Amino acid sequence: MQRLILISGVILIGLIGLIACGSEDTVETSPTATAVVTEVESSFAVVATVPLVADWVSEVVGLDTTVRSMIPYGVNPHGYLFGAKDIAEVTESDIVFAVGLEYESKTFEKLMDAHPDLIVVNLGDFVDPIPFKEDGHEGHDDHDDEDGHEGHDDHDDEDGHEGHDDHDDEDEHEGHDDHDDEDGHKGHDDHDGEDGHEGHDGHEGHDHGLYDPHFWFDPVRVASAVQIIADKMSEFDPNGAQQYQSRASDYLTKLNALDQDIHDRISGIAESNRIVMTSHESLGYLGARYELNVIRAVIPTLNADQEPGPGHLVEAIELIEDHEVQVIFLEAETADATSEVVADETGIEVVSGLRVETLRNRDESYINFMEDNIELIVETLKNLP
Q: Where are the beta strands (DSSP E) in the chain?
A: 28-30, 33-34, 36-37, 45-48, 66-69, 95-98, 119-122, 275-278, 293-294, 327-331, 349-354
Domain boundary among 215, 244, 263: 263
pLDDT attached to residue 354: 94
Note the pLDDT tens digit of each residue in 32-58: 333 443 333 447 899 999 999 999 999
The Cα 169–Cα 22 span in angstroms is: 36
Q: Which DSSP helix (H) or strand (E) runs through 385?
A: none
What pLDDT score does 257 carry? Answer: 98
| Together in a domain, 243 and 349 | no
Residues 258, 361 within the same domain: no
Say whether both 176 and 250 belong to one domain.
Answer: yes
Same domain, 131 and 252: yes
| The Cα angle at residue 205 between residues 201 and 206, in degrees rounded to 5 | 95
- CA–CA distance from 340 to each of 139, 194, 310, 327, 353 (Å)? 26, 30, 14, 11, 14
12 lies in some domain: no
CATH code, domain with 237:
3.40.50.1980
Kindly tell me the burial class for residue 186, based on how many C-beta atoms sit within 10 Å of its own C-beta (0-12, 13-18, 19 or more).
exposed
119 belongs to a structural domain: yes
pLDDT at 340: 80
Note whether 251 and 277 are same-domain residues: no
Pairing of strands 95-98, 119-122: parallel
What's the pLDDT band for 302 if we cut at 50, 70, 90?
low
End residue of a domain, out of 263, 285, 312 = 263
Distances (CA, A) of 333 to 75, 145, 379: 7, 31, 21
CA distance 26 to 35: 7
Pair (321, 338) in one structural domain: yes
Band of residue 315 on the pLDDT scale cut at 50, 70, 90: confident
Confidence at residue 336, expressed as pLDDT on a 0 to 100 scale: 66
154 lies in which domain range?
Answer: 23-191+203-263
pLDDT at residue 9 in the model = 40
Is there a single domain that holds both residue 138 and residue 175? yes
Q: Average model confidence (pLDDT) for the chain?
A: 75
One domain, residues 127 and 232: yes
Residue 162: pLDDT above 60?
no
Comparing 52-56, 278-282, 297-301, the range with the smallest average pLDDT is 297-301
The lowest-confidence range among 113-127, 186-200, 229-243 is: 186-200
Nearest to 270 by CA among 141, 151, 145, 383: 383
The residue with greater pLDDT, 89 or 95, is 95
Q: Is residue 54 part of a domain?
A: yes
Q: What is the pLDDT of residue 47?
A: 96
Given pLDDT bands bounded at 50, 70 and 90, which one contains residue 172? very low
Residue ranges of E strands in 185-248:
none
Residue that finishes a domain, picked among 247, 263, 279: 263
**Structural domain contains residue 17:** no
Residues facing 36 on adjacent strands:
69
Judge whether 30 lies within some domain: yes
Write the DSSP assignment of 57-118 as a string of letters. Answer: HHHHHGGGSEEEESSPTT--GGG----HHHHHHHHT-SEEEE--TT-S-HHHHHHHHH-TTS
Q: pLDDT for 101-158, tens place per residue?
A: 999 998 899 999 999 999 999 999 999 999 975 544 333 333 333 343 333 344 344 4
Query: Do 146 and 283 fall within a single domain?
Result: no
Do 179 and 296 fall within a single domain?
A: no
- Tally of structural domains, the chain: 2
Q: Residues of the chain with pLDDT > 90: what percent?
A: 47
Which of 91-95, 268-272, 314-318, 381-385 has the lowest average pLDDT?
314-318
Q: Round to whole Å and give the CA distance between 344 and 69.
A: 39
pLDDT tens digits, residue range 50-90?
999 999 999 999 988 879 999 998 888 887 888 888 888 89
Backbone angles phi, psi at 237, to 5 degrees: -130, 80
Let me know if 195 is exposed, middle or buried by CB neighbors in 10 A (0-12, 13-18, 19+): exposed
Based on the fold, state whether residues 283 and 238 are members of the same structural domain.
no
* Strands of 114-263, DSSP E: 119-122
